[in-house]
Structure 1
Amino acid sequence: MDRSELTSRLLPEMTLSSAQAKLTKPLPLPANLSPAERAAARFRISGVAVVTGGTGDLGSVACEALLEHGLNTLLVCDLQDPSSIGKMQALRSKYPSARIEFTNTDVTDEEQVTRALQGALSVLGGIDILLTFAGVASCDHAKDMPAKEWRRVFDINTTGSFLCAKAAANVMIQTGRGGSIIHVASISAHRVNFPQPQVAYNASKAAVLAMTKSLAAEWAVHGIRVNTISPGYMDTILNEGDGLQAARTIWNDRNPNGRMGSPEELCGAIILLASNAGRYITGADIVIDGGQTLF
């Protein structure tokens, strides 16, 4: 666009929902339920869930939690390797009554993402929940970081999350029943980590927070809630090994609880945001770090 044309441009405008809109109005629990039934119904998970990075240490635990709370249709989008195949077989064996599908998906490839999530519409009937666990960590001194590494981290963590959210939202809009999108940010989006330098990772996760707020505002009119969880240091294989022992000691010493988190400890927030219990929560971030970011 020529600069002389700037004054005549028109800005696109978002539309907000209304108090009585079907997809965003309150959804009370049925009055004829017992207290126990009401408690179970509040956090019941239903419909079709898509989990990217669903065979990783955190994603696989989240998949189990969804299934434990009633989910009967799950699509895992991840890169296929012997480990992912084994985890999928174990999941199907443990939950034989659920339909559990897997698709080999590179979240940085828009065509692959669109094909996988449109497939959820044609084969599974739609998408009601999206969790984006696919991501990479990166620790490098900023002065030595190649541009290629910076772009790789953003491409997977930020752009990949956006591509999945965009594809899922388009399916949710097509089916007209709304849904819940949960991105995985990090405490690294909130403050600088210590002692490891990781500028690209921190910036990519901060971008996920900002992106989530924008999507929550734009897509509320479609009944789509968009939120994030921000895990602290989690006790997974990514944080194991003798080379990380000094860092682990520092992380634990700076945590009010004195320890790293268990992947299971993310599940309460995930179930809240994925269920009707979180129906009025959008654009929010839940920090799950044992108090790590208090200091």
Structure 2
Amino acid sequence: MDGTPGLLAGKRAIVTGGANPRGIGAAIVELFIAQGATVAVLDQAYPEGAAAALAAGRCNLHCDVSRTASCEAAIEQAKAALGGIDVLVNNAGIVAATRIWDLPEDEFRRMIEVNLTGTYNVTHAALPALLDSPRQPAIVNLGSTAALRGGGLLGGSHYAASKGGVISFTKALARELGPRGVRANCVAPGIIETDMTLGKFGENWEQELKQGIPLQRFGSPAEVAQAILFLASDLSSYSTGIVVDVNGGFHIH
């Protein structure tokens, strides 16, 4: 940074699902820190029981978002390490393309538990701290283009349902929490170059998909992070309950 205060200067943020260095979560964390935030990164990949230790603007904490107790413990650690919470980004999630005729109940339940219930678990645990924040607190949830177009590609009906639930949950949060000063918004990425998508289409199908996207390419994790930064910062101070498409025009509606 060049000495100019960042868009998140002094803000304390939680980002779930940030352990994979090639994922959207890692891009969010990097950008948030560059913009002046201190960040607690919650991910199942981190070891259980490790103490929260801030270094280079971040601390890494174990959290299984599908488990209430795990979320509550991680949030308490994060609050202690950061001194409070001003921004929450619910990014942790899984994806699968299983079609309905092959979809077992346990896979459906797991998708909902991680993507939708996980968003609820972390939000519910963090809410008291967000309500105590003096700095226009913000929640940003990760939806998906799949929720807007009925799945397809790499996301089956259970994935679309889970992300559709996240979008509806976000809008309901905006209505309920707006009078208490908390904004809640959602980002709906399209095809982003992460481990979830790279190499999954085959060269011919990939080229065909890109031709169907007005910008003629897939997106990068950094481009999703930039949209999330906008919604987390005071630049979007009068925006709540919205869904921002980050998909190169792949889903224009």
Q: TM-score, normalised by structure 1?
A: 0.76
Q: Which amino acid counterpart does residue 227 of structure 2 have in structure 1?
A: A
Q: 1:42 to 1:80 in 2, by over 3 A?
A: closer
Q: Which amino acid counterpart does residue 39 of structure 2 have in structure 1?
A: L
Query: Which of 68, 71, 74 matches 2:34?
Result: 68
Distance 2:202 2:92 in 1: 22
Aligned residues: 245
Q: Deviations over 1:103-128 (max 9, x none)?
A: 11100110110111122223321111
1:128-207 equivalences under 5 Å are: 128-175=86-133, 177-195=135-153, 198-207=156-165
Q: Deviations over 1:162-187 (max 9, x none)?
A: 11111111222245655111000011
Q: Which amino acid counterpart does residue 68 of structure 1 have in structure 2?
A: A
Q: Which amino acid counterpart does residue 167 of structure 1 have in structure 2?
A: A
Query: What fraction of aligned residue pairs are identical, expressed as a percent?
Result: 30
Distance 2:237 2:160 in 1: 29
Distance 1:197 1:117 in 2: 29
> Paired residue for 2:24?
58
> Paired residue for 1:222?
180
Q: 1:113 to 1:244 in 2, by over 3 A?
A: farther
Q: Which amino acid counterpart does residue 63 of structure 1 have in structure 2?
A: V
- In structure 1, runs of 5+ residues without a counterpart are 1-36, 83-90
Distance 1:164 1:202 in 2: 20
SS state of the match for residue 237, structure 1?
coil
1:250-289 equivalences under 5 Å are: 250-289=208-247
Q: Which amino acid counterpart does residue 70 of structure 1 have in structure 2?
A: G
Deviation, 1:242, is 6.3
SS state of the match for residue 190, structure 1?
helix
* Higher-helix-fraction structure: 1
SS state of the match for residue 196, structure 2?
helix
> Paired residue for 2:11?
47
Cα contact 1:49–1:75 (8 A) shared by 2: yes
Q: Deviations over 1:117-153 (max 9, x none)?
A: 1222233211111111100001111111001111100
Please provide the CA RMSD for this pair. 2.5
Deviation, 1:267, is 2.5
